[in-house]
């Protein structure tokens, strides 16, 4: 019968060769301080540097390390999902390898789990060493997503969290392809607790969440957990119709009082055409986003493909 550890730590990795050894040292010390059995599962999300080679060396020197190598870069959220699916512990903690999220905080997450929480979110109370643009854009991200989403998210809570086995089973029952794990965890409910911490400067390398990726993540969060954009189309159509009706009444009125002019008619017509065209393109764009996600779901492709496993009973 395969050994089942008490705690699992899932670490998605993408081009983090510079910091992996330092992360593993700190993570191992943090887990040993808890005093309970554990495993560390690294998920290499198609790294193009020496990350995989370093992970193999770490696994050779530590029997509690397991490795999952995806066939290509599937994205951060998919890598997290792959690790959660393969984790064996009674708890599953996810955090990145860049050391911005201190592994020492895992002990506080575990303590909250012992008190009965199924989901323990690590909430950033301070962002040390991050540029002002990153801080502002991150705050705007949470505000924007919560404004549109039907499922509220804890502010400043990223993907550093602990899940109980019950929460993991609920999460794995959600098979959607466009993964927004933060929203999915919020959707399942259960007992939720938060633990505050100070986010440290990145130990090496650069962030993988550029502005376009943050916008894409926000889009996934809104479209996966809200129909508000679709409802907004109805209000947009009502607004355009009202504007067109008001414009028509103005044209009739100017004609009746004898103040009609060619310039006025041309300007009004051009404005109305541009407004209608913009509303149509916006509507098609919103509908296209939802239809694209439906298309991705009905194709039934696997969420990810595994190139190699280390530390698994069945390595295929």
Answer whether 304's CB lies under 8 Å from 78's CB: yes
Q: For the packed helices 181-188 and 211-225, what is the interaxial angle rounded to 10 degrees?
A: 30
Neighbours of 163 (CB within 10 A): 29
Domain boundaries, the chain: 7-210+302-310, 228-298
pLDDT above 80: residue 39: yes
Neighbours of 207 (CB within 10 A): 14
Closest CA to 42 of 59, 60, 18: 59
- Tens of pLDDT, residue by residue over 242-275, are 777 777 677 677 667 766 555 555 666 677 777 7
pTM of full prediction above 0.85: no
- Tens of pLDDT, residue by residue over 176-185, are 877 778 878 8
Structure token pair of residue 57:
């060396």
Q: Which of 146-160, 192-206, 215-229 has the lowest mean pLDDT?
A: 215-229
* Average pLDDT value for the chain: 80
- Tens of pLDDT, residue by residue over 122-146, are 888 776 666 655 666 666 666 666 6
Q: Does domain 7-210+302-310 have CATH number 1.10.10.10?
A: no
């Amino acid at each position: 019968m395969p050994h089942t550890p008490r705690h699992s730590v899932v670490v998605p990795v993408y081009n983090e060769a510079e910091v992996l050894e330092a992360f593993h040292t700190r993570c191992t010390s943090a887990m040993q301080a808890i005093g309970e059995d554990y495993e560390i599962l690294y998920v290499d999300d198609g790294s193009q540097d020496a990350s995989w080679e370093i992970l193999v060396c770490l696994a050779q020197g530590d029997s509690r390390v397991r490795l999952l190598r995806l066939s290509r870069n599937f994205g951060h959220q998919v890598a997290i999902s792959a690790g959660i699916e393969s984790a064996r512990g009674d708890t599953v903690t996810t955090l990145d390898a860049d050391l911005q999220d201190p592994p020492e905080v895992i002990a506080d997450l575990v303590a909250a789990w012992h008190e009965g929480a199924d989901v323990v979110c690590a909430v950033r109370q301070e962002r040390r060493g991050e540029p002002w643009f990153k801080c502002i854009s991150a705050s705007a991200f949470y505000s924007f997503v919560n404004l549109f989403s039907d499922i509220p998210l804890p502010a400043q809570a990223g993907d550093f969290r602990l899940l109980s086995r019950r929460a993991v089973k609920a999460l794995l029952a959600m098979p959607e392809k466009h993964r927004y794990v933060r929203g999915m965890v919020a959707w399942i409910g259960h007992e939720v607790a938060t633990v505050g911490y100070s986010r440290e400067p990145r130990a090496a390398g650069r962030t993988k969440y550029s502005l376009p990726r943050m916008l894409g993540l926000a889009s996934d969060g809104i479209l996966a957990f809200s129909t508000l954009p679709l409802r907004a189309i109805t209000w947009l159509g009502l607004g355009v119709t009202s504007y067109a009706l008001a414009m028509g009444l103005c044209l009739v009125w100017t004609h009746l009082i004898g103040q009609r002019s060619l310039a006025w008619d041309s300007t009004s017509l051009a404005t109305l055409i541009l407004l209608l065209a913009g509303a149509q393109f916006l509507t098609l764009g919103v509908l296209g986003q939802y239809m694209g996600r439906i298309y991705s779901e009905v194709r039934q492709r696997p969420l990810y493909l595994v190139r190699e496993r280390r530390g698994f009973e069945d390595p295929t």
